[in-house]
C-alpha cells in the first residue's frame, strides 16, 4: 500500500450502491476515497454529487481509469457495475497495479477467465463474489451441509426474487447456490424455469422473480417424500453488501498477490 490508509477507488460512484459505498468508506477508520468513476457528473466533486459535501475527489470517466488510478495512488478498486464494463475495467485496473473487489453479476465464463488472467499477469489480488453479505456466506455453508446430508433422496428447487430494475437473471447468488449444491451432491444439471411438458429428473432448477423494490431474497427448497426443508436468506437493505465489500477491500490488500479470492476466503 502507498499510505497508512487503504486508498479506495469506486466505479459507478454516483449510483445507489456507489452512494452507500462512499458513505461507508468515509465512516471506516483506515480507509479513504481516492478515485471515483461514472458516466455522469464527470468533473464534479463526488461528495457534492451524492450530497455529502466536498471531498476533493472529482468524478472521472472510466476511459481514463488507468491514468487516474495511478495518479491517485489507489490501492483497491471496487466495482459493482455491469458485466460488459467490468470485463474491460477490471483488467485495466489490474494492469495499473490496483487490487480488485468485484461484485458485478452476470459475468460470463470467458469474462471471468480474462479477469483472472489479468490478476495473475499483473500480480495483484482480487475478490470476486456474487454476494458480499456476511449472512449469505453462512447461507452458503448451510445449504452445502444440507445437500451433503440429504443427497439424491431430495429434489432441489431455488427461488430468487429481486427488484424490477435488475438486469440479469438468475441472480449470481442463486447460481452460486446451485453450483454449491450440485457439487455437494456429486454433480447435477442446473436448469432455469420450466415450461410445457418437462417431467422432473434429478436437476436443480432456479426460478427468478422480478418486482417492485425487493432487495434480494433467496430460498433453497430440499423436497422429499412427506417433508420439505427450506433455507432462506432475505436482504432488507443494500447496506449488507456494502459492509462486506468494504471489509473485503481492507482484507484483499494484505493477501498474496496473483490470486482471485471469494467472499468465503474473506470471512474465514
Catalytic residue, candidates 162, 188, 218, 233: 162
Is 141 a residue of the active site? no
**DSSP result, 122-185:** TT--EEE-S---HHHHHHHHHHHHHHHHHGGGSEEEEEEEE-TT--SSS-HHHHHHHHHHHHHT
Grid coordinates representing 21 are 459505498
Q: How far apart are CA 231 and CA 203, in angstroms?
A: 18
Please tell me the distance from the alpha carbon of residue 87 to that of residue 111, in angstroms, as a whole number: 6
Instruction: Specify whether 162 is catalytic.
Output: yes
Query: With contact defined as beta carbons under 8 Å apart, do 156 and 221 qualify?
Result: yes
C-alpha to C-alpha distance for 203 and 190, rounded to whole angstroms:
6
- Among the options 44, 112, 166, 257, which is catalytic? 166
For residues 166 and 180, the answer to whether their CB atoms sit within 8 Å is no
Using CB atoms within 10 Å of the CB of residue 16, give its burial: 0 to 12 exposed, 13 to 18 middle, 19+ buried. Answer: exposed
Q: Inter-axis angle of helices 16-27 and 239-252, to 10 degrees? A: 60
Enumerate long-range contacts of 232-239, CB under 8 Å, 24 or more apart. Answer: 233/133, 233/135, 233/136, 233/139, 235/133, 235/135, 238/16, 238/17, 238/20, 239/20, 239/24
Q: How far is CA 30 from the centre of its chain?
A: 22
Which of the residues are catalytic? 162, 166
Amino acid at each position: 500500500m502507498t499510505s497508512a490508509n487503504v486508498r479506495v477507488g469506486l466505479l459507478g460512484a454516483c449510483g445507489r450502491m456507489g452512494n452507500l459505498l462512499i458513505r461507508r468508506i468515509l465512516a471506516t477508520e483506515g480507509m479513504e476515497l481516492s478515485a471515483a468513476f461514472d458516466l455522469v457528473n464527470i468533473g464534479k466533486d463526488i461528495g457534492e454529487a451524492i450530497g455529502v459535501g466536498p471531498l476533493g475527489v472529482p468524478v472521472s470517466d472510466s476511459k481514463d481509469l488507468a491514468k487516474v488510478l495511478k495518479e491517485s495512488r489507489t490501492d483497491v478498486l471496487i466495482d459493482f457495475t455491469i458485466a460488459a464494463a467490468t470485463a474491460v475495467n477490471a483488467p485495466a485496473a489490474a494492469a495499473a497495479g490496483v487490487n480488485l473487489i468485484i461484485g458485478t453479476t452476470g459475468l460470463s465464463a470467458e469474462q471471468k477467465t480474462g479477469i483472472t488472467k489479468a490478476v495473475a499477469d499483473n500480480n495483484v489480488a482480487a475478490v470476486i463474489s456474487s454476494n458480499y453479505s456476511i449472512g449469505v456466506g453462512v447461507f452458503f455453508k448451510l445449504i452445502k451441509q444440507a445437500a451433503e446430508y440429504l443427497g439424491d433422496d431430495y429434489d432441489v428447487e431455488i427461488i430468487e426474487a429481486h427488484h424490477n430494475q435488475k438486469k440479469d437473471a438468475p441472480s449470481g447468488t442463486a447460481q452460486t447456490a446451485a453450483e454449491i449444491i450440485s457439487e455437494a451432491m456429486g454433480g447435477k444439471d442446473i436448469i432455469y424455469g420450466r415450461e410445457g411438458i418437462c417431467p422432473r429428473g434429478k436437476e436443480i432448477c432456479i426460478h427468478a422473480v422480478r418486482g417492485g423494490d425487493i432487495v434480494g431474497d433467496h430460498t433453497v427448497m430440499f423436497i422429499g417424500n412427506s417433508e420439505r426443508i427450506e433455507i432462506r436468506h432475505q436482504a432488507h437493505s443494500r447496506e449488507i453488501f456494502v459492509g462486506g465489500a468494504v471489509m473485503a477491500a481492507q482484507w484483499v490488500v494484505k493477501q498474496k498477490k496473483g490470486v482471485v479470492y471469494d467472499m468465503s476466503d474473506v470471512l474465514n
